[in-house]
Amino acid sequence: MKTHLAGQTRVGTFKDVLHLPELSEMLISTTKMSDMGVNTIFTSQHADLVEAHPRNLLACAIRDHNLYRLRVTIHKPEGAHIARNHPTSKATLELWHHRLSHISEDTIQKMVKTEAAVGMTVVGDGSRDCSACQKGKQTRNIILHSTEERATEVLGRVFSDLCGPMETPTIEGYQYFVTFTDDYS
């Protein structure tokens, strides 16, 4: 990244950083900075980042409400970093099963044995039954569209069905409706 101070631009690199993609702001730890030999001097208006040896003002963060904002430009390398080695990924059979769209454990073991996937390691032994897979294999009983015998009088047999909750409630605030169908009439 580049910092700007009194018309001067400095290029520096932050090391030992934590990547938090969901964080809306980038935060600098003043204690980490002092471990690196850069002290922070706070005033009510700004915070100065000062190199300890030799004493040298590096950057100035201007106060914005309760934060001191450091104006930096992210300096992107021109070329992409290409990984040269293949780091191995260790996970349990259960986790591989989830990662690989619920494929069978035999297939996972085969992939590891035949090195079909590079850098894949299974740790621990057998997995527990996967509830998602069990649900996927379940079938429900058929609901017949007609009954074998019919009612012989009004209200002899009434079919009822409840529907809801609906995503959008009615103006009156209702989210369900129920139907009653008389078999005879």
End-to-end CA distance of the chain: 79
CB of 91 to Zn ion, least distance (A): 14
Minimum distance, C-beta of residue 101 to Zn ion, in the bound complex (Å): 9
CA distance 4 to 139: 65
Q: Which lies closer to Zn ion via its Cβ, residue 105 or residue 183?
A: 105
Residue closer to Zn ion by CB (options 4, 98) is 98
Residue 41 vs 133, nearer CB to Zn ion: 133
| Closest separation in Å from C-beta 96 to Zn ion | 11
Closest distance to Zn ion from the beta carbon of 89 (Å): 19
Task: Check: CB of residue 183 under 8 Å from CB of residue 150.
Answer: yes
Angle 161-167-173 (CA atoms, 0-180°, nearest 5)? 80
What residue ranges bind Zn ion (CB under 5 A)? 102, 130, 132-133
CB closest to Zn ion, residue no: 130
Lookup: tokens for 150:
């019919």
Copy the structure tokens of residue 177: 């409706």
